[in-house]
Chain A
Amino acid sequence: ELKVEQNPLFLSMQEGKNYTIYCNYSTTSDRLYWYRQDPGKSLESLFVLLSNGAVKQEGRLMASLDTKARLSTLHITAAVHDLSATYFCAIYGGATNKLIFGTGTLLAVQP
């Protein structure tokens, strides 16, 4: 069974602090996606990671992919309140572009 597990499920952090969200998956996949969702809103694509060792950065967020360990990380540097949202990782589960999503990490950045 294809599984994508994220941890933590909930993260409360103070502004200015650093933290990492982890995404583990159970099957080989060469594509991993990170999305952000604000409350009551749609999913916004953050990063597309396509190969082992891929690292992408946008502002205070940096994502990496280790396909051998079946692990992706989303690192938050010097968090600000605007980063408060739910973050999802997703992998392709096989043919026809089917995405398998993690359960999400709810990030709350406190002033």
Chain B
Amino acid sequence: NAGVTQTPKFQVLKTGQSMTLQCAQDMNHNSMYWYRQDPGMGLRLIYYSASEGTTDKGEVPNGYNVSRLNKREFSLRLESAAPSQTSVYFCASSEPGMSNQPQHFGDGTRLSIL
């Protein structure tokens, strides 16, 4: 059972470099999310996609862009990485309307920006 798959698992970038974090889910969920996790701050929502073809900003969207490529895939792009974007990034998915089901999370991408 794959669930939510994120790639890569680890990445080190230099300031100013760009990269895309990939996320795919095989649960046929309509909604997908990107969070970042920093020590002592819980998880904060960066962007979300309520359904295929739609994306919206979350709590901390600055410096990021997203693409909902299809129902399965939701990518997060850092155009010009900054040290403040060093964090652990989690992708999640859920099915709207099924309130008894939680969001399902991937294993995370640990990103360091030097």
Contacts and interface: CB of A to CB of B under 8 A. Distances in A.
A48 B94 contact: no
B100 A48 contact: yes
Interface in B100-114: 100-108
Size range of the interface on B? 20 to 34
Contacts of A75: none
B58 A98 contact: yes
B10 to A, nearest CB: 11
Chain B contact residues: helix, strand, loop or mixed: loop
A43 B3 CA distance: 13
Interface string A87-104: 010100000111101111
Interface in B31-63: 31, 33, 40-45, 48, 50, 56, 58
A31 interface: yes
A96 B51 CA distance: 9
Contacts of B33: 98-99
Size range of the interface on A? 20 to 34
B103 A42 contact: no
B43 A97 contact: no
B105 A43 contact: yes
Interface of B: 31, 33, 40-45, 48, 50, 56, 58, 90, 94, 96, 99-108
Given A4-B42, A96-B31, A98-B33, 4 more contacts: A31-B99, A35-B102, A97-B31, A98-B45
